[in-house]
Amino acid sequence: MKLKTEILYKVMLASALFAGAGMSTQLMAEEKQAGDFARGAMQWVENCGRCHNVRDPKELRDDQWITTVYHMRIRAGLTGQQTRDILTFLQESN
């Protein structure tokens, strides 16, 4: 439970940072929902694997994955739910 609370806190913190950069309030509301590990694993392979060699989730720390995933959300056109799922998968695999 503590890990999920920490992840939610990190996602909300990232949301607040992106809100200052012009992200919508709808996105901030979406970010409060939890991600799904299994869907995240599938999204990781399907979306990230299109352009990258899939990296080991242990290559980056949790805070580094937040920055990376939110950067790639914009570049890859991921939905809010896909982003949360991928982030959950990466952080829980770390």
The residue ranges of every structural domain in the chain are 2-93
- % residues pLDDT > 90 (the chain): 55
How many whole angstroms separate alpha carbon 74 and alpha carbon 78?
7
Indicate the range of 5-9, 62-66, 87-91 predicted with least confidence.
5-9
Residue 25 or residue 65, greater confidence:
65
| pTM over 0.95, yes/no | no
Q: Which long-range contacts (CB under 8 A, 24 or more apart) does 45-51 make?
A: 47/76, 47/78, 47/82, 47/86, 48/72, 48/76, 48/86, 50/76, 51/76
